[in-house]
Structure 1
Amino acid sequence: MAETFLLDIAQRVVEKIAHLSVEEARLAFNVESHLRKLKETLSRIKAVLLDAERQQHQNEKLRLSMWKLRDIFYDAEDVIDDFKCEAVRKQVVNHPNITFKVRFLASCSLPLSFSLKMGHKIEVINQRLNELAIEWDNFNLGQDTDNRHVFNRETHSFVNSKDVIGRDVDKENIIDLLMKPSEGLDVPVIPIVGIGGIGKTTLTRLVYNDNRVNRHFPLKIWICVSEEFDLTRLLKLMIHSINKGEQCDDSTVEALQTCLRSLSNDKKFLLVLDDVWNENQARWIELRDLLRSMGGLSQSKIIVTTRSLKVASIMSSILPYELKVLPHEDCLILFTKWAFNDGDDRQYPNLMRIGEEIVKKCKGVPLVVRTLGSLLFMKTDESDWISVRDNEIWKLEHAENEILPVLKLSYNHLPSHLQRCFAVMSLYKKDSIYYSDKVIQFWMANGLLEHSKQKQEWVDVGGRYLNELLSRCLIQKETDYALGFTFKMHDLIHDLALDVSQKECKTVNSQSYVIDENVRHLSFCDD
């Protein structure tokens, strides 16, 4: 699980207070106690932020309280930056090469008035923090920072092949890879990679239940790995997949691997590891080495589904199978299946015309097609269809919308510094062609790049961030050029960026009348 977004901001503010230079601190001669108190309060709240992040998904009051805290953190950061800015201004004023006129203008703001103003600001921030700290006492938050909340998805191997549209070619390609003789001693792993909702699990189900696969592999094992790549848990899931009656809840790893070896009985097997997020190579090697003891390994195969190219490279030496979006025609057939009872679409040609436009906005992602189709099932009023067509996906009611929760897993797994960089990309228009050097400059200008421990140049740090977004399938590379490369962001991923940044970023045009005072990043658009 990625570090909480707020923890990153809190840590940055505490570090800025700690690193105020002597010159900067001198500007605050009458607010040192306020600064010290601010640092202490921030440190106290920072200690329970991870638990707050874990609990906010089940506590709406806590979630809203965290948004208040975010605004306070940002205001505190602004105040510290004001100290640094004032220190630079004084250096300019006192520099011997500065002309009298510039010195006079720069000296108009008296240090005493500055200190009084900053003292008042810090006092107000401390008061707001204290009020919030009292509110947080009611949430019973703990300081166990290792107590991360793990969301384990559950998937299964059953599929109704009649409900799957447009994946026949992909299915045959994966089956060809399964039937291909293995080379070398490495565990043969076939990674299927793509964004959330693209249909990786569905495709794997089609393959898993194919008669040719059933004949080729006497033993088939399906487990959903999800976020917790724990050896003991995975062994138990594998054992239960083979024999649901096997009692092994309290067994040691040694007993579990002995039981698994006994159940597999040296049979050739197909193992599906669905929804893998683990980027710790050591954990994978631990499981891989244990699988080698099962026998029949040279003819066995493993299918891994993941959203991360990095995960795929850790687990397999072969190129990943990158699942592409569905063609428009297949999306339209899928949408019709979910939006109408059989044959009813012919009775509503007007709705189908609107439906074609809705399908276009799905941009080939089956989960979106299915969700929007089911959202309109049994609805024959044109206004309902027009509303879905004209609204952004991220603005749909969450109770009826399973799209964003699925996509948000990708965002939640980003490190906190990448979460911020990803969120501000919502300020770009949909379908934009992004230029890597300009995006990096944009991040630099907004102070979103972290200092590198390897003393890298800022451009190199930004390049590393973009490569990580590429590996997680959140952006797609287009072409290389002298200063970098161009890339695009799928409309669905852009909707995710809009959703996670809606209280932080805002794009406005001549028709925009209301802007939240807490918005931190504003983009002006001419249409």
Structure 2
Amino acid sequence: MTELALSIAENVIKKLGSLAYQEICMSQDIASNLTKFQLTMSTIQAVLMDAEEKQVRNRALSVWLEQLKDVFYDAIDVLDEFVCEDLRRKVVETYGNTSEQVLHSVLYSSFNPLGFRFKMGHRIKKIIERLEEIAKVRAQFYLNERLDDKSIGQREREMTHSFLCDSNVIGRADDKQKIVDLLMRPNDDNNAFVIAIVGIGGMGKTTLAQWVYNDERIARNFDTRIWVCVSDDFNILKLAKEILKCAGGRISENMTMDEVQVSLRNTLNEKNFFIVLDDVWNDDRSKWIDLKNLLIGGAKRSKIVVTTRIQEVALMMASGPIHNLKGLSEDDCLSLFLMWAFKEGEKQQYPTLIEIGKEIVTKSKGVPLAVKTLGGLLYSKFDDRDWIFIRDNEIWKLEQKENDILPALRLSYDQLPSSLKQCFAYCSLYPKDHIYFSDELIQSWMANGLLHKSNESPQELEDIGLQYVKELFSRSFFQELSDFGYCYIFKMHDLVHDLSLFVAQSDHCLVENTNNRKNYEKVRHVSILDYNLGANELTTFLHKLNNSARTIIFRNEDVDPINVNESFFKTCISRFKYLRLLDLRFLRFEVLPSSIGSLKHLRYLRLRRNKQIKKLPNSICDMQNLETLILDGCGGLEELPRDIRKMISLRYLCITTKQSRLLENGIECLYSLRTMIFYKCLKLESLPEGIQCLTSLRRLEFTSCESLMSLPRGLKYLIELESLIIFDCGKLNLMEGEDYPTSLRSLRIGSLPQLVALPQWLIRFGNTLQVLIIHFFENLEALPEWFPYLISLRKLVIWACPKLSSLPERMDCLTSLKELEIGYCLQLRRNCKRDVGEDWPKIAHVPLLKIV
């Protein structure tokens, strides 16, 4: 199947509508063609949602969508040429041409305005012709216009019910007991107490709710029990009627909202009711409040249980605890699997199959529906080959029925906005069990144009990226999310990763064996995870890729670096003119060729831990589109390029260099910078005075800069600076001075032998500081008395401070503190021991405690 056609089409339309393109069209002919292009795209976009749904039953439609996607990608390349030209002109106006640019101009006339107009006009016409030719055949598919329909998957969702056979439930006894205990407690007020059960599709939320609903204690404790399958249609009148019907009230088809409300209140008045609202997707708070108001009037012990996949829905609805449903144990998974794979009493006859089954259930990663799916695929099959086939294939490659695990997870994917669908698909380029860092992921999304803001919105793209991360976490696509202030760290459940592979397979590819016979002709984003490669094998593999590849990532971490040669770079640079992201981490080479500057579409370049490279070509500064440059661990790098100030789009810069001082008129001229990291700059003593001009800077980090004597002057002028990280800088003294940031949101400091106490200037962040990480302070004996004035603090981490024995008084005043982590502080750990420690009363109010 072909996914993401609609998402990519929307990218094209957003680019067409950008003012930047309108301002630099430079001719009426180009402007007219762009208008025509936009009109054609809009008519095609209107039917793409319908086409993507119907392609399951129509192979020709899938081929048609693939052809459209090819044109869309090419269109984005053409439109990005305008961006490249606009940025080049700005640099020329400010700094003049480099010698390389002058030579290129003479040879190719690409910087000649008339030549540019002619070339771009011709390319736009070709795109329109191709698009119109493909669009001609759409009538044969009988497609309907559907511009905004989020109920595609929901129409296939079966309505749930309250009945459950107890013998079919395995491994949820503890979960059931926790929910029942909560339901038996008295309420704090007159309103119904709401408990939410949250988890990914297939985790067993409905099963758990059914088991609770049918428990004898619940039946005895409540006058009325009501089960409502909500699904996607959170229609207040419809839900109120359903509740009224289940409660035994009179109902007629033509009842008005007022009539239903009166009848519902009379029916539930003074009754202890228990309601399950199963499978809730609605995130409109006003709708929930309207429904909840209808239910006020029941007795004080009334309870509501909500099941949902979406964390934000749970937070909105639940007045009580949120129960995050975890996966089953391996033993429970095996028991459930055998129940579905064999008839009763049959499994004892097939010990060999059971052994293979133990390996198969590891694919389920604790998700009951996945276990049932895999067991169901093998029901009444007793040939070892059938079981080995299931064992050795990815779950997303196995044929599944409508109610199996991938279709269930697919419901969540279908509910995503198109922009989030592309971002989720991009996650398939990372291996299973990968630990994601939000800043890395967001920079990758940004490089590929997956983050968008309206022309009216001043919102930063990084903020939009963080919203996307939070949204995907809220919808259970990400899990175990931790906030470190400067970034989020999280993981993806293996089955959700399988879903990303499924929806991204025609565009994205994680390659674990470059010798396979897979056809890479359509793949635009490639991540190479083959540890058995040499330079020649890498170069050979590059020739298998689509010339229009957008992303190339080499992921040979934790193994010996690959020494690449000139042939590798010649292939990489000459073949892939439209690269947006090139990640060469752990590849080893001495020279980056000057031709790298010809990759004018490149937004992201990573050269992590290449210890051999000594110098970057100055032509890299001609890459005016480059937004992310990562040079961490390049210990042999003698200096930064002399014209680095010309990289006017640079937003994220991570540096390792041998320089003791950076050249003037260099990084302090990068006014677009949002993140600047100095990593293992062992000789760096100071930074240029002009750093204070980087008023857009939001994160500043110094790690293992052992010669750094002082922070750059003028930090107080960096009004956007939110995150400051200072770690392992042995000569740096932070105790005195007024020249510090004014509104930090997060601070991480550690391994600073000059520091024996927290600096006094921290108190000025009392109203802004939300995350504070203090670690590896051997001489820190006490936190200051003013520490409780950090009233905005949400997360506090104290790690490896062996002399710290107690917390300051009035810690209980930190009412915003939601997370406290204490590790490898032996004396402090004793004093903070739950219930009995001397300092326990100071931290008992903190919801999430981790003390090791």
TM-score, normalised to structure 2, is: 0.57
Say whether 1:370 aligns with 2:372.
yes
Which is further off, 111-120 or 456-465?
111-120
What is the CA–CA distance in structure 2 between the aligned matches of 1:492 and 1:323, rounded to whole Å? 15
1:236 touches 1:249 (CA, 8 Å); kept in 2?
no
Say whether 1:253 aligns with 2:257.
yes
Say whether 1:78 aligns with 2:77.
yes
**Aligned AA for 2:530?**
D
What is the CA–CA distance in structure 2 between the aligned matches of 1:177 and 1:51, rounded to whole Å? 44
Task: Supply the RMSD in Å over aligned alpha carbons.
Answer: 2.8
Residue 299 of structure 1 aligns to a residue whose secondary structure is coil
What is the CA–CA distance in structure 1 between the aligned matches of 2:220 and 2:237, rounded to whole Å? 30
Q: What is the correspondence of 1:52-201 to structure 2 with a 5 Å cutoff?
A: 52=51, 62=61, 64-89=63-88, 97-111=96-110, 115=117, 117-143=119-145, 145=147, 149=151, 151-152=154-155, 153=157, 154-201=159-206
For residue 498 of structure 2, the aligned residue among 495, 499, 515 is 495
Match of 1:210? Answer: 215
1:248 touches 1:256 (CA, 8 Å); kept in 2?
no
**Aligned AA for 1:224?**
C
For residue 478 of structure 2, the aligned residue among 452, 470, 475 is 475
Match of 2:348? Answer: 346
2:7 touches 2:421 (CA, 8 Å); kept in 1?
no
2:269 touches 2:299 (CA, 8 Å); kept in 1?
no
Deviation at 1:46, TM superposition (A): 3.1
String of CA shifts for 1:454-482, please: whole Å, max 9, x gaps: 53333332222212222222111255546
**Aligned AA for 1:74?**
Y
What is the CA–CA distance in structure 2 between the aligned matches of 1:478 and 1:186, rounded to whole Å? 32
Say whether 1:418 aligns with 2:420.
yes
What is the CA–CA distance in structure 2 between the aligned matches of 1:458 and 1:351, rounded to whole Å? 52
**Aligned AA for 2:174?**
V
What is the CA–CA distance in structure 1 between the aligned matches of 2:203 and 2:337, rounded to whole Å? 15
1:23 touches 1:87 (CA, 8 Å); kept in 2?
no
Residue 25 of structure 1 aligns to a residue whose secondary structure is coil
For residue 289 of structure 2, the aligned residue among 270, 285, 288 is 285
1:93 touches 1:107 (CA, 8 Å); kept in 2?
no
For residue 484 of structure 1, the aligned residue among 458, 472, 487 is 487
2:150 touches 2:414 (CA, 8 Å); kept in 1?
no
Say whether 1:451 aligns with 2:453.
yes
Which is further off, 86-95 or 503-512?
86-95
Residue 166 of structure 1 aligns to a residue whose secondary structure is coil
Deviation at 1:265, TM superposition (A): 5.6
Match of 1:317? Answer: 319
Say whether 1:268 aligns with 2:272.
yes
1:478 touches 1:488 (CA, 8 Å); kept in 2?
yes
String of CA shifts for 1:386-410, please: whole Å, max 9, x gaps: 1111111111113477111110111
User: Structure 2 stretches of 5 or more lacking a match?
Assistant: 532-852
Match of 2:25? Answer: 25
The structure that has the greater radius of gyration is: 2
What is the CA–CA distance in structure 2 between the aligned matches of 1:467 and 1:279, rounded to whole Å? 14
Match of 1:388? Answer: 390
String of CA shifts for 1:297-336, please: whole Å, max 9, x gaps: 4221100000111101111232301111111111111111
Q: Residues 343 and 144 from structure 1, CA distance in 2 versus in 1: closer, same or farther, beyond 3 angstroms? A: closer
Deviation at 1:258, TM superposition (A): 3.0
String of CA shifts for 1:33-70, please: whole Å, max 9, x gaps: 43332122112223444555666677665555444333
Match of 2:12? Answer: 13
Match of 2:437? Answer: 435
What is the CA–CA distance in structure 1 between the aligned matches of 2:151 and 2:503, rounded to whole Å? 19
Q: Residues 300 and 491 from structure 1, CA distance in 2 versus in 1: closer, same or farther, beyond 3 angstroms? A: same
Residue 304 of structure 2 aligns to a residue whose secondary structure is strand
Match of 1:296? Answer: 298
String of CA shifts for 1:113-153, please: whole Å, max 9, x gaps: 65555444333322332233332334454556466645253
Deviation at 1:160, TM superposition (A): 0.7
For residue 223 of structure 1, the aligned residue among 202, 225, 228 is 228
Deviation at 1:25, TM superposition (A): 1.4
User: Structure 1 stretches of 5 or more lacking a match?
Assistant: none
Q: In proportion to residue count, which structure has more helix?
A: 1
What is the CA–CA distance in structure 2 between the aligned matches of 1:285 and 1:481, rounded to whole Å? 33
Q: Residues 69 and 460 from structure 1, CA distance in 2 versus in 1: closer, same or farther, beyond 3 angstroms? A: same
What is the CA–CA distance in structure 2 between the aligned matches of 1:401 and 1:393, rounded to whole Å? 14
Deviation at 1:88, TM superposition (A): 3.6
2:21 touches 2:82 (CA, 8 Å); kept in 1?
no
Match of 1:37? Answer: 36
Q: Residues 208 and 427 from structure 1, CA distance in 2 versus in 1: closer, same or farther, beyond 3 angstroms? A: same
Residue 197 of structure 1 aligns to a residue whose secondary structure is coil
String of CA shifts for 1:219-242, please: whole Å, max 9, x gaps: 111010001101122122223334
What is the CA–CA distance in structure 1 between the aligned matches of 2:357 and 2:136, rounded to whole Å? 51
**Aligned AA for 1:200?**
K
Residue 136 of structure 1 aligns to a residue whose secondary structure is helix
For residue 507 of structure 2, the aligned residue among 504, 509, 513 is 504
Deviation at 1:14, TM superposition (A): 2.9
What is the CA–CA distance in structure 1 between the aligned matches of 2:470 and 2:55, rounded to whole Å? 30
Residue 75 of structure 1 aligns to a residue whose secondary structure is helix
Residue 24 of structure 2 aligns to a residue whose secondary structure is helix
**Aligned AA for 2:75?**
A
Deviation at 1:486, TM superposition (A): 2.2
Q: Residues 219 and 201 from structure 1, CA distance in 2 versus in 1: closer, same or farther, beyond 3 angstroms? A: same
**Aligned AA for 1:208?**
Y
Residue 339 of structure 2 aligns to a residue whose secondary structure is helix
**Aligned AA for 2:216?**
N
Q: What is the correspondence of 1:399-418 to structure 2 with a 5 Å cutoff?
A: 399=401, 402-418=404-420
What is the CA–CA distance in structure 1 between the aligned matches of 2:149 and 2:325, rounded to whole Å? 35
Deviation at 1:252, TM superposition (A): 1.5
Residue 185 of structure 1 aligns to a residue whose secondary structure is coil
Q: Answer 1 or 2: higher relative contact order, Cα 8 Å, separation at least 6.
A: 1
**Aligned AA for 1:36?**
T
**Aligned AA for 2:412?**
S
Count of matched residue pairs: 520
Say whether 1:524 aligns with 2:531.
no
String of CA shifts for 1:348-378, please: whole Å, max 9, x gaps: 1111111001111211110001110111011
Q: Residues 170 and 6 from structure 1, CA distance in 2 versus in 1: closer, same or farther, beyond 3 angstroms? A: same
Residue 186 of structure 1 aligns to a residue whose secondary structure is coil
What is the CA–CA distance in structure 1 between the aligned matches of 2:194 and 2:169, rounded to whole Å? 24
**Aligned AA for 2:340?**
W
Deviation at 1:442, TM superposition (A): 1.7
What is the CA–CA distance in structure 1 between the aligned matches of 2:179 and 2:151, rounded to whole Å? 34
What is the CA–CA distance in structure 2 between the aligned matches of 1:148 and 1:360, rounded to whole Å? 33
**Aligned AA for 1:24?**
I
What is the CA–CA distance in structure 2 between the aligned matches of 1:124 and 1:138, rounded to whole Å? 24
| Percentage of matched positions with identical amino acids | 47
String of CA shifts for 1:188-221, please: whole Å, max 9, x gaps: 1010111111111001111111111111112111
Residue 108 of structure 2 aligns to a residue whose secondary structure is coil
Residue 195 of structure 2 aligns to a residue whose secondary structure is strand
2:273 touches 2:302 (CA, 8 Å); kept in 1?
yes
What is the CA–CA distance in structure 2 between the aligned matches of 1:302 and 1:419, rounded to whole Å? 32
